[in-house]
Amino acid sequence: MPEIIDFGSFQLRFLRDKHGTAGSLDMFELILQPEGRMPVPHHHEAWEETIYGLTGTVSYTVEGEAHEVGPGESLFIARGKVHGFSNRTGAVASCLCILTPGVLGPEYFRELAALLRSGKPDPAAAREIMLRHGLVPAPPG
């Protein structure tokens, strides 16, 4: 049974991870509630990210450029490119996210989700979690 990690405004349903694929990929479904968004835009140097739209429309911003990913559409995010996502619509949206190679796993998401659901998340603690797992937060802007 896939693991679901709940961030409140979005959920991740892990389908495959680095542990079961010998580091080949991490794959999860992102289910984004209306007006939900990624807490901290970031980049990573150790993996690429490919997004495939399933339902609704997820808005990705990559290096300042907007990309609307709807059903059947895809987006490739190269290493080192700052990105974030949001759902600017009034409907739930979902997409399949594939990270290659699989070096992140669900551990990062479990840890960050617990921090964000704690009531008063500490930005310094979120940054530390991100950096420890290979994600580099974008400067505030």
Backbone torsions φ then ψ of 72, nearest 5 degrees: 80, 0
pTM, 2 dp = 0.93
Angle at 130 between CA 128 and CA 135, to 5 degrees: 135
pLDDT at 141 over 70: no
Question: DSSP characters for 60-96?
Answer: EEETTEEEEE-TT-EEEE-TT--EEEE--SSS-EEEE
Domain boundaries, the chain: 3-137
What would the pLDDT profile of 127-139 be if each residue is shown by its tens digit?
999 999 999 999 8
Residue-wise pLDDT for 87-122, tens only, equals 999 999 999 999 999 999 999 999 999 998 887 778
What pLDDT score does 97 carry?
98
Is CATH 2.60.120.10 the right assignment for the domain spanning 3-137? yes
Question: What phi and psi, each to the nearest 5 degrees, are found at residue 110?
Answer: -60, -45
Q: Which long-range contacts (CB under 8 A, 24 or more apart) does 16-19 make?
A: 16/102, 17/102, 17/105, 17/106, 18/101, 18/102, 18/103, 18/104, 18/105, 19/105
